[in-house]
């Protein structure tokens, strides 16, 4: 078996036994990146030199029998939204194109401490806003299974890098489905942890009450390995929870007994692609053959989840992104040109005798903010800032934002009630098995509806995992989503592992030539 076909778990065993070196593993993955990434576009930057230096250091320490970390020698691709000290972190935005992070995010610090080989930074929708990676200011990420389709998003680069064997493990973030949806579309395993389980410190904020960092891998076993490395309480994140971090990758071998799986009535309605429906139902039958009981449950407010999400997330985003002011860091507009423009406008208004308009003209500082932000942000980010500002503005706050917070509680209560009867909720990850690049680019609302099956988990704060459960006729992967009560990541991982022991969908590899 070639190095890139091995799981991270197998590679770790080989590395410990010294039958392979970290340099060999890193070189194998760098070769795949060199061969395929011009077509896929998963990475924004690849750090071959840094990765090889780290790999050499680990090999040396292993040769000297010195202690090494939990992921020593395993390449990990990181979504370009987590700060890594001294390195550029762009969030796929022009506004941060030249921003170098002054500190490590907790997740990156933990990866470094675990001796992971940080191989490169992956593409995303700008500031993680989107479901297709088409909103990156730099390039689109193509789906390795069909290059005319998008990889999903916003963690599309991380998903594609794992699917195309350009990294064994990757870090993603999930605010409304941004780990699970691209994992489904790219045929890999992606887990969104319970809110508060993984530190958000140093993760560039999009919607702070929803954002979570999580693992992306080819198998549940590997996702377990990565999750146990990055999870846990962090005093630097005041929303981080004192939750225990069990040894997920050890416990995963233990199958779940007496499992009851809930099927959400509302998830199988009109709009669900027939091939996805069939693959998900086949997957449920596999769980039944493994001893699980299946029960229908209802999440009556799930049809309001997208509307609720598209009030709360943009509201938080409009507030979080106020920090990009062109003054402290990031892009600033050309000042001389900006002042000349203002001057010309003032003179024109005065010449026309419009004193009122001249008096209302932006001050130089306000114009600097407005021009810097308008030139630095892409269309989707502007749209969400506008939507959030509108929803929070005087006269609309109660009707939109406060209303959405109330519906959010109803959505959470639906889950609490459902989990009284079932251990896990299973359903599709996306309504269809793949979407063409550009297909929905001009219709933001149609794009938002792609999040239908994933946003509820973020609103409720619960965990979810997605992994492949079949392929469409056209050869695109179909994802199954499992959701569990808060802090039951162990249950999600073990359930996914049971499935992956019984099936081989997760071992399929896209034919990139």
Q: Which of residues 138-197 bind another protein (CB under 8 A)?
A: 194-196
Unique residue bearing structure tokens 């040894």: 247
C-alpha angle 166-83-492 in degrees, rounded to nearest 5: 60
Unique residue bearing structure tokens 């390195």: 87
Q: Which is nearer to another protein, 209 or 503 (CB)?
A: 209
Question: Distances in Å between the alpha carbon of 85 and those of 42, 61, 202, 260, 290?
Answer: 22, 23, 10, 45, 46
Could you tell me the smallest distance in angstroms from the CB atom of residue 482 to another protein?
Answer: 18
Compute the distance between CA of residue 155 and CA of residue 43 in angstroms, rounded to an integer: 11
Provide DSSP, 476-499. Answer: -EEEEEEEESTT-HHHHHHHHHHH
Site for another protein in 394-413 (CB under 8 A): 399-400, 402-410, 412
Tokens found for residue 105: 């995010």
Q: Which residues pair with 214 in a beta bridge?
A: 172
Site for another protein in 430-449 (CB under 8 A): 444-445, 448
Q: Which is nearer to another protein, 145 or 369 (CB)?
A: 369
Question: Cβ(80)–Cβ(91) under 8 Å?
Answer: yes
Q: Which is nearer to another protein, 387 or 512 (CB)?
A: 387
Give the one residue of 339, 340, 344, 474 binding another protein; rule: CB under 8 A: 339
Site for another protein in 481-500 (CB under 8 A): none
Tokens found for residue 141: 């990420």
Compute the distance between CA of residue 449 and CA of residue 446 in angstroms, rounded to an integer: 5
Q: Is 178 a known active-site residue?
A: yes
Q: What is the number of other CB atoms lying within 10 angstroms of the CB of residue 477? A: 28
For position 214 contacting another protein by CB under 8 A, the verdict is no
Could you tell me the smallest distance in angstroms from the CB atom of residue 150 to another protein?
Answer: 20
Give the one residue of 23, 109, 226, 387 binding another protein; rule: CB under 8 A: 387
Stretch that binds another protein, among 184-192, 264-272, 300-308, 433-441 (CB under 8 A): 300-308
| β-pairing verdict for 293-297 and 260-264 | parallel
Give the one residue of 322, 340, 344, 348 binding another protein; rule: CB under 8 A: 322
For position 327 contacting another protein by CB under 8 A, the verdict is yes
CB hemisphere CA count around 180 (13 angstroms): 34
Catalytic residue among 54, 79, 110, 192: 79
Q: Is 289 a known active-site residue?
A: no
Site for another protein in 340-379 (CB under 8 A): 363-371, 373-374, 377
Q: Is 318 a known active-site residue?
A: no
The site string for another protein over 57-76 (x = CB under 8 A, - otherwise) reads: --------------------
Q: φ, ψ for residue 455 (rounded to 5)?
A: -65, -30
Q: φ, ψ for residue 212 (rounded to 5)?
A: -145, 145
Tokens found for residue 284: 């449920």
Give the one residue of 304, 357, 471, 501 binding another protein; rule: CB under 8 A: 304
For position 209 contacting another protein by CB under 8 A, the verdict is yes
Q: Which is nearer to another protein, 327 or 502 (CB)?
A: 327
Could you tell me the smallest distance in angstroms from the CB atom of residue 34 to another protein?
Answer: 31
Give the one residue of 241, 286, 357, 361 binding another protein; rule: CB under 8 A: 241
Which residues are annotated as catalytic?
79, 154, 178
């Amino acid at each position: 078996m070639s190095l890139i076909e091995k799981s991270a778990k197998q590679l770790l065993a080989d590395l410990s036994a010294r039958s392979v070196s970290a340099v060999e593993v890193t070189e194998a993955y760098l070769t795949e990146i060199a061969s395929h990434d011009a077509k896929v576009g998963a990475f924004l930057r690849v750090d071959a030199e840094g990765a090889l230096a780290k790999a050499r250091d680990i090999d040396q320490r292993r040769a000297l029998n010195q202690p090494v970390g939990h992921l020593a020698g395993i390449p990990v691709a990181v979504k370009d939204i987590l700060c890594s000290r001294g390195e550029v972190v762009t969030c796929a935005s022009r506004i941060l194109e030249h921003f170098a992070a002054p500190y490590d995010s907790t997740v990156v610090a933990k990866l470094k401490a675990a001796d992971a080989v940080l191989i490169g930074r992956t593409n995303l929708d700008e500031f993680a806003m989107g479901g297709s990676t088409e909103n990156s200011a730099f390039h689109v990420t193509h789906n390795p299974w069909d290059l005319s389709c998008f990889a999903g998003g916003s963690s599309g680069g991380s998903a594609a890098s794992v699917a195309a064997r350009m990294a064994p493990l990757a870090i993603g973030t999930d605010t409304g489905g941004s780990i699970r949806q691209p994992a489904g579309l790219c045929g890999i395993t992606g887990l969104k942890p319970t809110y508060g389980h993984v530190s958000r410190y140093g993760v560039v904020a999009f919607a702070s009450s929803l954002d979570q960092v999580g693992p992306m891998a080819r198998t549940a076993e590997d996702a377990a390995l990565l999750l146990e490395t990055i999870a846990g309480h962090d005093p630097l994140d005041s929303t981080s929870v004192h939750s225990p971090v069990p040894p997920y990758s050890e416990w995963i071998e233990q199958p779940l007994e007496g499992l009851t799986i809930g099927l959400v009535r509302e998830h199988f309605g009109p709009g669900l692609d027939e091939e996805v429906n069939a693959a998900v139902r086949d997957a449920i039958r596999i769980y039944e053959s493994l001893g699980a009981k299946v029960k229908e449950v209802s999440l009556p407010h799930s049809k309001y989840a997208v509307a609720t999400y598209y009030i709360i997330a943009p509201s938080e985003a409009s507030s979080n992104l106020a920090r990009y002011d062109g003054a402290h860091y990031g892009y600033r507009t050309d000042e001389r040109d900006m002042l000349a423009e203002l001057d010309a406008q003032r003179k024109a208004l005065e010449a026309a005798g419009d004193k009122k308009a001249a008096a209302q003209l932006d001050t130089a500082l306000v114009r600097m903010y407005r021009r810097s932000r308008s030139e630095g942000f892409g269309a989707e980010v502007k749209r969400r800032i506008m939507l959030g500002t509108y929803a929070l503005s005087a006269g609309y706050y109660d009707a939109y934002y406060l209303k959405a917070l109330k519906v959010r509680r109803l959505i959470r209560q639906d889950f609490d009630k459902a989990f009284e009867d079932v251990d896990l909720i299973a359903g599709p990850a996306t309504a269809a098995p793949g979407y063409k690049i550009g297909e929905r680019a001009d219709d933001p609302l149609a794009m938002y509806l792609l999040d239908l099956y994933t946003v509820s988990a973020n609103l409720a704060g619960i965990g979810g995992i997605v992994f492949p459960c079949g392929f469409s006729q056209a050869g695109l992967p179909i994802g199954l989503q499992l959701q569990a009560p808060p802090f039951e990541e162990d249950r999600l991982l073990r359930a996914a592992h049971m499935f992956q022991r019984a099936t081989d969908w997760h071992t399929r590899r896209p034919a990139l030539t």
